[in-house]
Amino acid sequence: MIVTAYDPQSSSFISGLEAIQARAQRAQRELTTGLRINTVSDAPNQIPNLLQVQASIAHNDQVTLNLGRVKTETDTAESAISNAVTQLQQAQTLATQGASDMDSASTRQDLAQAMGAVLQNLVSLANTSVEGRYVFSGDEDQQMPYSIDLTQASPISAYAGSASTRQIQAPDGTFFQISETAQTIFDPSDSQSSVFQAVNNARVALLNNDSAGLNAAIGQLSTASTYLNNQLAFYGLTQDKVATATNDGANLETSLKTELSGIEDADMTQSITDLTQAQTQEQAALSSEAELPRKTLFDYLG
């Protein structure tokens, strides 16, 4: 039986060569991927930080996406209420015109028809939708808030939506309210502030040629107009909050990606240097190993 003698020198050479090749392979991976951390073994102590920052980026991306959807809804809602304010101004103009002593019953009938059109427009605005969701239906956004039938004594249906509890999260973790219901905006429990009731009362007074009722409706229209403008202000404030939160999200994304880059990105200049040095060392090691004297078993037997 032939026993191969253990050669410490050869073993040391192989270990050293493998270490050099490992450095070269790591440098090559960094140059290929642009990352300093490609596997857990590259920097095990940095993995918890890496995972935490990646999770924070994913969460911020979701928050930003949600804010984008809310922006569309709040912009649409603000526009709808702004149009409702204009419609209510038109109703006030019609009512004021009808209150003139010069107007006949026939003229008031015509004004009543125009007032009915205003009421229909207001209901349509209360039923505003975005991407198949009714923005003023509260948490029941698949349910149209109101319907209208001017042939009925009470032409506007009961509110068919629900309460509005929706909130949106900002990048800093806080939450804020993003919507109100059509009932809150157009038909609150305080009848003097109800947009629908004010317009319909003016319409009925015109139909009935009721001067006293029309004068009362004009006062109610003024109160409702002030109330509706306050609802418009709510959505203007909400738009500002969404814009601020969106901007904060963009700034946070930049900060997190900078932090992530500091953890995982490779120093390309250093990687090139490491690869070059490893290749040089490998070539030198192989050349040196080739020049070492070789002995066989017969050298020791001689």
Query: Token digits for 197?
Result: 């009731």
Number of domains in the chain: 1
Domain for residue 121, yes or no? yes
Residue 172 lies in a domain: yes
- pLDDT at res. 188: 95
> 96 vs 33, which has greater pLDDT?
96
Q: Which helix (H) or strand (E) is 244 found in, with range? A: helix 211-264
Instruction: pLDDT band for 15, please (50, 70, 90 cuts).
Output: low
44 contacts 146 by C-beta, under 8 angstroms: no
In a domain, 278, yes or no: no
Sort strands 133-134 and 175-177 into parallel, antiparallel or unpaired. Answer: unpaired
216: CB partners within 8 A, 6+ apart? 201, 205
pLDDT at residue 253 is higher than 50: yes
Instruction: Look up the domain containing 214 and give its range.
Output: 87-248
Distance CA 21, CA 16 (A): 9
Spatial distance between the Cα atoms of 268 and 35, rounded to a whole number of angstroms: 9
Render pLDDT for 216-236 as a digit per residue (tens, 0 to 9).
999 999 999 999 999 999 999
- Residue 57, domain member (yes or no): no
Q: Is residue 237, in this structure, part of any structural domain at all?
A: yes
Greatest C-alpha distance within the chain: 141
Give me the CATH number covering residue 137.
Answer: 1.20.1330.10
Give the chain's count of helices (H) and strands (E): 8, 4
Residues 143 and 160 sit within 8 Å (Cβ to Cβ) = yes
The pLDDT value given to residue 1: 46
Kindly give, in sequence order, each residue whose CB lies less than 8 Å from that of residue 288, ignoring residues fewer than 6 positions away.
Answer: none
pLDDT tens digits, 97-112: 999 866 788 999 999 9
pLDDT at residue 2 in the model = 47
For position 105, what pLDDT does the model report?
87
Has residue 97 been placed in a domain? yes
CA–CA gap between residue 145 and residue 227 (Å, rounded): 19
pLDDT of residue 281: 62
Average pLDDT over residues 6-17: 60
Tell me if 136 is assigned to some domain.
yes
In which region does residue 138 sit, left (phi positive, over 0), alpha (psi from -120 to 50) or beta (all else)?
left
| pTM beyond 0.85, yes or no | no
Per-residue confidence (pLDDT) for residue 26, from 0 to 100: 63
Q: Would 2 be classed as within a structural domain?
A: no
CA torsion, points 294, 296, 299, 302, in degrees to nearest 10? Answer: -170
- Supply the pLDDT for residue 3: 47
More confident residue, 191 or 247: 247
pLDDT bin (cut points 50, 70, 90) of residue 262 is confident
pLDDT tens column, 111-164 = 999 999 999 999 999 999 999 999 999 999 999 999 999 999 999 999 999 999
261 falls in which pLDDT band (50, 70, 90)? Answer: confident
The reported pLDDT for the residue numbered 20 is 64
Q: What does the pLDDT average to over 47-73?
A: 92
Whether residue 298 is predicted with pLDDT greater than 90 in this model: the reply is no
